[in-house]
Amino acid sequence: MTTKRPQINLFIILLFLILFSCQKRKETSNAVPKNTKSQVIKLTVIADRFYDDKKFDSAFYYYNKIKSICHPITDSENFISTLNNIAEIQRYHGDYDGSELTLTEAIPYLKYVKKQKHIWNNYIEFGNTYLSKGDYGNANLYYNKALELKTSEWRKLSAENNIAVVLLEQHKYKEALQIYLRLSKEKEIIEVTENYAKVLDNIGFCYFKIGDIQAVSYFNKALQLTNKINDNWESAKVNLHLAKFYYPNNVDSSTKYALVSYDKYTSVHDVDGRMSALKQLIANTKDHELKKYSLLYIKVNDSITEVRQKAKNQFAKIKYDSKKEKEENLKLKTHKAENELQLERQKNRNIISYILIVLSLSLIVVLYFYLTSRGNREKIEATYKSETRIAKKLHDELANDIYHTMAFAENRNLSIVENKEQLLINLDAIYSRTRDISKENSPVITNEKYTFYLKEMISGFNTSNINFILNDIESVPWNEIEKNKKITIYRILQELLVNMKKHSSATLVGINFKKTDKSVIINYTDNGKGIDINNMIFKNGLHNVENRILSIKGEIDIDTEPNKGFKVFIKFPL
């Protein structure tokens, strides 16, 4: 053993010197980032051309190439602009969570941006993404942040318009109306026919919702302007509003406008608009026409789900390949630097020293890149699988409902009022389930507002048929509890409430919180139909609940009997 010690010490010294030399070279190379602006500009021209031609998959690919070579600090404006474009494409294809993650990547580098328009675009896209997800609080927050920036007048007016859109979604029609009336008097709005038509249409919609007959004059004026400039998308929207205005007092006029809206939405390839127009046509028609529009609605809904699933998978694959290509390029550059380093050192070392350095350097580089590449690859693959799983879940969970609704529409007499109403209920359920799946997979907020969002999630299950009793949630010191535990409790309660709503037929739900010296206790109770605990199989939701509580070293006990409700005892350490 003693004869080998000097060799080991020498080897350790050599390793230290090599590491120190590599680190100095790395610091030197990082001090002066490579200027890639000219390459970024060329790729941006290509990406923008594909975007303008609506070839979003190709545009997405090139924007990701730009992101991989663009330095986020020295070229922050191009970096932020590229992320905004990527996020917009993701949102357009229904990948709202992916869009939010992409926009979040830009936040640390906004401070390096000199032109406020890029920050404005980031805030507006954040607002659009949250609006699409139905998160009106965050949408309003980012629209107001955009409004506060020192930007051009038209950007401020655009931000105000978006704030009004949020108010419309929140059914605050009088507040939205005040904003739109003010915008309708602005010179920048009036001079751009397309924008003026949109504002007039929104004014008409607000008046319609508050029961003011002035609505129809604004709708007609907006329709004249959109037809004048051949703006089919806005014309489709105005026609749909007129269809809703005339329903149910003048069904013939409502149907006429709904058909025009459907044709125009079809011409601009707006699937969501087509579904809205079809929904109005279903409400207006009966017998053969009702059946025709109902089957078409189901077909369009099924196709949009499938298309968006494929788009998400495709974009996830592009991101995965882009990161993989970046890693491979980095490896090639690293190997080239190693060879140059070896040549420089070869001049000042003898054969023995040269062999030792090469062996040592090769060992370190291989080990370092092996560990780094494996970790990055696992993260990328996990992200890819997660995005694919969520997209697949959207399709699989809706397939059964769509099948039964299609069968119902084909086999029942839809001229009967009860069947027609049931069909509309089924169609709304399909749409609601799609939105619910998106919300179930949204991030959990664990900051000081955790209690508020936990209450909001629970209250979301409160309906006219289900009452909630929530006790002592404030008694728990949530700010002192680990982030992972808060996320786990949020998901457990969400899982229990989803199962309750799907299976229990409960009318009363109680959730009690209690803090002890070393733990937190949660008692969940509902008066639903319960199940036979002896024949209960822990799968799906209940299996998830059990795994989640065990992951934070907690305890769970389920007490239930047929027709005697469902009780769950949960305990986890602080």
Q: Which of 132, 31, 49, 52 is nearest to 90 (CA)?
A: 132
Token couple for 425: 């209920």
Dihedrals phi, psi of 290, to nearest 5 degrees? -60, -45
For the chain, the C-alpha Rg in angstroms (whole number) is 30
Task: Give all strands (DSSP E) within 282-363, no chain letters.
Answer: none
- Extract the residue ranges of the chain whose pLDDT is less than 70: 1-34, 303-344, 375-400, 403, 428, 431-442, 535-541
Dihedrals phi, psi of 522, to nearest 5 degrees? -125, 125
- Residue 562 half-sphere exposure, CB side, CA atoms within 13 Å? 4
Q: CA–CA separation, 313 vs 21, rounded Å?
A: 43
Q: CA–CA separation, 48 vs 86, rounded Å?
A: 11
- Cα-Cα-Cα-Cα dihedral sign, residues 206, 211, 214, 217: positive
Q: CA–CA separation, 497 vs 568, rounded Å?
A: 12
Q: Which of 181, 176, 186, 125 is nearest to 154 (CA)?
A: 186
150 burial (CB, 10 Å; 0-12 / 13-18 / 19+) is exposed
Give the DSSP H/E element, type plus range, for residue 573: strand 566-573
User: How many C-beta neighbours within 10 Å does residue 294 have?
Assistant: 26
* 241-283: pLDDT as tens digits: 999 999 999 999 999 999 999 999 999 888 888 999 999 999 9
* 539-565: pLDDT as tens digits: 556 777 888 899 899 999 998 888 889
For the beta sheet containing 467-471, the strands, ordered from the edge strand earlier in sequence to the opposite edge, are: 467-471, 508-515, 519-526, 566-573, 555-560
Total-model pTM: 0.49
Dihedrals phi, psi of 34, to nearest 5 degrees? -65, 135
Residues in Cβ contact with 432 at an 8 Å cutoff, skipping those fewer than 6 apart: none
The pLDDT score that the predictor gives to residue 464 is 83
Q: CA–CA separation, 395 vs 407, rounded Å?
A: 18
